[in-house]
Amino acid sequence: MNRDINQSRERVAVAMSGGVDSSVTAAWLVEQGYDVVGLTMTLWQDAGVRSNTRSCCTTNDAEDARRVAQTLGIPFYIVAMQDLFQAAVVTPFLHSYAVGRTPNPCILCNQEIKFNHLLAKACNLGAAFLATGHYAQIHLSPENKPQLFRGVDPRKDQSYFLASTPRKMLEKIRFPLGVMTKGETRRLAQHFNLHLAQKRESQDVCFVPDGDYAAFFHHHGYSDLPGPIRGLDGKLLGQHRGIHGYTIGQRRGLGLATPKPMFVVAIDARENTLIVGPEESLLGQGARLSGINWLIDLDRLAPAIELQAKIRYASPPVAATLTLGATPEQGTLLFHAPQRAITPGQACVFYRENQVLGGGWIDENLCNITLE
């Protein structure tokens, strides 16, 4: 377990999602002698009626969390956050797709819901900190400031989703599973006699039933607005069903009859147009970033910073140079080698070896294509 957590009689709140990770986190803290309180968020109004069984935050998940709390003999509270979740996560998600961007709602949920509002609730209950089941690590610098690091399990490391968390909040957050692998977590679940030791992991966006984005957008009043699909030369190749159904790098669902496979390389929301091209046209040399959240001291930043950058969760970090803009919250990132499908709306997270330096949002792909 994370060695930064010392045995204590302090009160600690655990964000219990109803999954094995957060349940083991709570069980281990109880075993260490902490005064543990379980908190489960209700985020989505339709959670009880949807059929997506591989998402988190469902009614069944809340019941699983309650059952674990009963097994552990700890107080358990359900915290209603539907309105906050709608405003801070769902509405921006819908708007981003509508303007041709690809959002990452999990990052917004961590930043705005879990590590803002739920942390405040934990503090109101007298908790010294909020613990979660994330696979990441927090260590203290020589100046006693929190630093974020990758989890030791490279297949489960979730530091990418945490880079937008304000550094001040990291002082009140703990990730006990950061030094463990998923297999070790499941073995601990069996050790603690938790009924969900073999529960499958949640996947997909938790609030989109069965991953059906089209139905979700229709339900929220977004009508399909068909428009042209054009090649890099401007030639009309087909018609799309609505730009909210597409993302950079997408090949499936275009319905094009072309000599070679075509991919979405740009989305022009103003003209309601998809631009497609061959796979090599997806390569980009860099990106313009905004909303950068730094997890290191700003006075140590040079105008141009050598780092490793990760442009999506499933991509490995790659070497890049970040040149800061007019403020430290803006910058231009140039990769040492071209990268595939740099996507506006996605997060770009910075690393130096295993430490997370910070992260921002991709505003523009500095691609190599030229539209005629």
> What residue numbers bound the domain in which 51 lies?
11-210
Domain endpoint, select from 242, 260, 277: 277
- Same domain, residue pair 234 and 340: no
What is residue 210's predicted lDDT score, i.e. its pLDDT?
76
- Same domain, residue pair 126 and 148: yes
Whole-number average pLDDT of the chain? 89
Q: Can you tell me the mean pLDDT for 199-208?
A: 74
Domain endpoint, select from 255, 277, 299: 277
Q: How many domains does the chain have?
A: 3
- For residue 2, pLDDT beyond 80: no
- Same domain, residue pair 78 and 188: yes
Which of the pair, 47 or 24, is modelled with greater confidence?
24
**260, part of any domain:** yes
What is residue 344's predicted lDDT score, i.e. its pLDDT?
96
pTM score, whole prediction: 0.90
- Same domain, residue pair 59 and 202: yes
What is residue 208's predicted lDDT score, i.e. its pLDDT?
84
Rg (CA), the chain: 22
**218, part of any domain:** no
- Same domain, residue pair 256 and 309: no
Q: How far is residue 307's CA from residue 317's CA, in Å, rounded to a whole number?
A: 9
- Same domain, residue pair 270 and 287: no
- Same domain, residue pair 273 and 288: no
- Same domain, residue pair 37 and 159: yes
Sign of the CA dihedral with 357 first, then 362, 363, and 366 last: positive
- For residue 147, pLDDT beyond 80: yes
**178, part of any domain:** yes
The domain that holds 244 is classified in CATH as 2.30.30.280
Q: What percent of the chain has pLDDT over 70?
A: 92
**Catalytic annotation, residues:** 109, 206
- Same domain, residue pair 100 and 193: yes
What is residue 368's predicted lDDT score, i.e. its pLDDT?
57
- Same domain, residue pair 251 and 173: no
- Same domain, residue pair 161 and 177: yes
**216, part of any domain:** no
**52, part of any domain:** yes
**1, part of any domain:** no
Q: What percent of the chain has pLDDT over 90?
A: 74
- Same domain, residue pair 287 and 272: no
The domain that holds 163 is classified in CATH as 3.40.50.620
The domain that holds 314 is classified in CATH as 2.40.30.10
Domain endpoint, select from 277, 305, 322: 277
**pLDDT band for position 142 (cuts 50, 70, 90):** confident
**205, part of any domain:** yes
List of residues 6+ apart from 40 with CB closer than 8 A: 15, 16, 17, 18, 61, 62, 65, 66, 76, 77, 78, 79
**pLDDT band for position 312 (cuts 50, 70, 90):** very high
